[in-house]
Amino acid sequence: MAEPAQGTPGPPTTVILFGATGDLSRRKLLPGLLHLWRSGLLPHVQVVGTSLDDHTRESFIDLARAGIAEFSEDAQDKEEFPEFAKHLFWAPNGADNLRAAIEEAESGCDDQHTRLHYLSVPPKSALAVVKTIQDAGLVENSRIIMEKPFGTDLESAKALNASLHEVFDERQIFRIDHFLGKEAALNILAFRFANGLFEPIWHRNFIDHVQIDIPEKLSLEGRAAFYENTGAYRDMIVTHLFQVLAFTAMEPPVALDPESITEEKRKVFRSMLPIDPHHVVRGQYTGYTSEPGVDPDSETETFIALKCYIDNWRWADVPFYLRHGKAMAEGQRIISIAFKEPPRSMFPEESGVGEHGPDHLTFDLADRSRMSLSFYGKRPGPGFRLNKLSMQFDMGNTHWAGSGLEAYERLILDAVKGNHTLFNSAEGLERLWEISQPLLDHPPPVRAYDPGTWGPNQIHQLIAPFSWRLPFERKWRD
């Protein structure tokens, strides 16, 4: 049964999973909801699954059991599944069936339930699901989570927002970005604004450039139909990396409340200069056009690297370098802050100062939350020879189930509570598509790169005279 919560539990909630039999549901959503229930953070949750597949409640429970057995890494969660299964229900396709299943799920609770509609469906199906929710009379006292991509350009994003706003108020809409649900993303706010050591130097006078680097080892993994119509820029830069950029660059909010943080993110997006196609490298891994479902003449990029600028007082002339690609050498998720180098005139010529590049503060956005600070220090012994050293910080392990929430779990819990801090706003996304238009209108050529590498050679010209932080010269320490 659910543990006593060490955080603030969410209210009685019914989560309606559209696309409940899909890959995301089996891998992340169902295991995540079990974990939230078992940790005591959603102690009164009911889950109603629905999809175009033909299921009964019993077969849906079997599907959930198999998914949790395969993808959950928590042994206690797996042990508690038989009890959690009592909270699982199934709704055959259709508005009337959906309403009946929700009423059945909520029949054993006297308190009013918050309803959270999670749309784990292809983008082209999203508005049809919204219509079903409206026809079933399930809009009031509910919230809706939308998966990416949210539009493919400014025109389509505006049209999608307009259609959504005909049914839901903006306060009910949660456009998900699972990168911002990671512990390390929240640590950026704590690190920046809670520490007198770093807050005063977080601007153009001390920072030379910033890298946000999210390479993936995986290739298409059966997503050719989606990827051919999207590409790396629409799939990852607009929906993920620009959001991480906003957390890195935003001004201090007046308070740690959702509206204050969202407003500071909007200011970052308003200050961004349009993307210059000459500052972009597009790539496609060798063999992409041989993948099942891919056009043999496809110009879709599987790799993107770019330089962009935030034209405000804090960040004027500081370049932000963003990189993402499929089938690359490693899977990593980092933000690296490169500090400006001091004058070197006082150091002996053979001291080694400057040979290893600038000092870096690096955040690891992977599930294991880590930070690293690199700096020069004197090598022990005679003479004056400098080495590059690093201090690393690891959040470590805790014993409470709710202290290590996976990104989707955190975001579901925030949406249940109505907290928009880690979600994308309509205004912010439309602005990002607006600054993207020069690139979408005049994309640079797609350049080939071999799987297992770090992208096309042109990426080195993009960041010169400095270099990409990945691959690391020194590994994270265990």
Residues annotated within the binding site for substrate are 178, 182, 216, 235, 326
CB 236 within 8 A of CB 345: no
Residue 5 CB-density burial (10 A; 0-12 exposed, 13-18 middle, 19+ buried): middle
Residue 343: count of CB within 10 angstroms of its CB: 6
CB 89 within 8 A of CB 46: yes
| Nearest Cα to Cα of residue 449 among 237, 324, 294, 303 | 303
Q: How far is Cα 178 from Cα 170, in angstroms, rounded to an integer?
A: 19
225 pairs with which residues across the strands?
A: none
Q: Which residues are annotated as a binding site for NADP(+)?
A: 19-26, 148
The sign of the torsion formed by the CA atoms of 189, 195, 198, 201 equals positive
Q: Is the peptide bond before 471 cis (omega within 30 degrees of 0)?
A: yes
CB 327 within 8 A of CB 303: no
Question: Which residue matches tokens 């880690």?
Answer: 422
Q: What is the DSSP letter of 251?
A: P
Candidates 240, 324, 360, 420; catalytic one: 240
CA 399 to each of CA 5, 31, 73, 76, 405: distance values in angstroms, whole numbers, following the listed order: 13, 18, 14, 12, 12
DSSP-assigned states of every residue in 279-308 = GEEEEEETTGGGSTT--TT----SEEEEEE
- Does the active-site annotation cover 44? no
CB 416 within 8 A of CB 114: yes
Contacts of 191 (CB under 8 A, 6+ apart): 198, 363, 371
| Nearest Cα to Cα of residue 323 among 226, 463, 179 | 463
Residue 333: count of CB within 10 angstroms of its CB: 22
Question: Which residue matches tokens 């959690």?
Answer: 84
Active site residues: 240
